[in-house]
Structure 1
Amino acid sequence: MGPFVVATLALLVVPGPSVVFAVTRAVAHGRAAGLITVVGLEAGLLVHVVAAAVGVGALVASSGAALTALRVAGVAYLVVIGVRHVLPARTVSAVTVTVTPRRGRWVLARDAFAVDLLNPQTVVFFLAFLPQFVTPGSAVPTGQLLLLGLCVVLLAFVCDAGYVIACTALLRRRCSPSRPQLLGGSSRSAGVATGGVYLGLAAWSALA
């Protein structure tokens, strides 16, 4: 288990699209929103773990059409989120956690879940990574895959949440009392910047 944890952490500590997505949410809507986003991301990751363990992931990975469909859906979802932030508030309302807290939290978690679930690279990752640490000749590889996958999800939560907490703490230290919108996402420019990040992630996903 030791080599597995080390290898997993070596992959997770390098900021990737999930970290960018969660930190962007935290900067735009606050630390709580960022942590809710992390929960949504790891929930999507958990679905990939189960799919890989029971063989569904292998079926998806073996189908070029299925992977393409996942990629297109994921890119489209990121574009929708980005546009929702970029367009003026009178046209499309951005997600807020201050006006409707419960609804806002649900939307944050739902968006994050969908973004991670619709990532074909995650399907390929689990199929290539987890089997390397399964005991050869094991009579219960599914159980081992689930256990290893759950460890990945837990470590991913710790790493992603750590980035959210660290980045928001840094911003709060640098943010003056007269500029609270840096963490509240209330300014028009903040909405455009946030939407730009999501659209950038969409472009990255489309080209990756």
Structure 2
Amino acid sequence: MNALPVDPQLYLAYLGTMLVMAFTPGPANVFAVATGMQRGKGAALLAVAGMNTATFVWYCAAALGLGALVKAFPEVFRIISYGGIIYVVWLGVQAIRHALKAKDKALDTPVLDKARNAYLSGFLVQIANPKAILFFTAVLPPFLDIDRPPVPQLALFAVATLGLDTIAMSAYGLGGAAFARHMSSARFQRMFGIGVGVLLLTAAILMASRL
């Protein structure tokens, strides 16, 4: 009987893989940047919490065999994914419209403040992110040791996944917030609003490209 809950070599290999994937720019990290730029570090961290809640949901679903269900009923998965993409596109278009309509006064009512709260927005973005379910159904299985109990392995892999995702997304979100704090004029704020919209539309494109 194996004394350790996971194979050390497999776990280290998974950590390396997850580290690269967590910091690779994708829909979640782009959304974290956009939220930090327009709403500040507090909202960015709430968005990160929402996205990681969705990641945990996908992780549990994959562990329970949802991956096979998704493969059997791909249309359901596509409906969920396209719904999230449309939501992110809507946020991006609203951000650009808000910036273009602004007068010379400061933009003190960001469009994301008028949308859903940051936590729920982050959750909706990640729950519709095809990368999440594809990762847990395709990338995770090779790192599992069939000779060891699955539950302890899945628990340790979940800790690694959520921990590295939180670090990466938070870094992106706080970076966006720090950059935004250097702006003061209405012109720069207007350009930032457009930049936020472009980032959100980029996130939507990244999400769609993974379908």
TM-score w.r.t. length of structure 2: 0.77
1:95 to 112, 120, 137: 112
Measure, in 2, the Cα distance between the counterparts of 1:169 and 1:88.
22
Taking every aligned residue pair, what percent have the same amino acid on both sides? Answer: 28
Q: How many Å apart are 1:168 and its aligned residue?
A: 3.5
Matched residues, number: 192
Secondary structure of the residue aligned to 1:136 is coil
Which 4+ residue blocks in structure 1 deviate beyond 6 angstroms?
A: none
* 1:158 lines up with 2:167 in the alignment: yes
Measure, in 2, the Cα distance between the counterparts of 1:196 and 1:165.
18
Q: How many Å apart are 1:167 and its aligned residue?
A: 4.3
Superposed CA RMSD in Å reads: 2.8
Gaps of 5+ in 1: 97-102
Q: How does 1:84-163 map to 2 (within 5 A)?
A: 84-88=94-98, 94-96=111-113, 107-138=117-148, 140-163=149-172
Q: How many Å apart are 1:17 and its aligned residue?
A: 1.9
Aligned to 1:100: none
Measure, in 2, the Cα distance between the counterparts of 1:191 and 1:170.
13
Aligned to 1:48: 58
Measure, in 2, the Cα distance between the counterparts of 1:112 and 1:119.
11
Q: How many Å apart are 1:156 and its aligned residue?
A: 0.5
Structure 1, residues 15-63: CA drift from partner, whole Å, max 9, x if none?
2221111011101111111111111111111101100111123311343
Q: How does 1:150-189 map to 2 (within 5 A)?
A: 150-169=159-178, 172=181, 175=182, 178-179=184-185, 187-189=189-191
Secondary structure of the residue aligned to 2:117 is helix
If asked which structure has higher relative contact order (CA below 8 Å, sep 6+), I would say: 2
1:108 partner letter: A
Conserved in 1, the CA contact under 8 Å of 2:92 and 2:198?
yes
Gaps of 5+ in 2: 1-10, 102-108
1:68 to 78, 85, 96: 78
CA gap of 1:150–1:180, structure 2 versus 1, over 3 A, is: farther
* 1:195 lines up with 2:197 in the alignment: yes
CA gap of 1:195–1:170, structure 2 versus 1, over 3 A, is: closer
1:145 partner letter: L
TM-score w.r.t. length of structure 1: 0.78
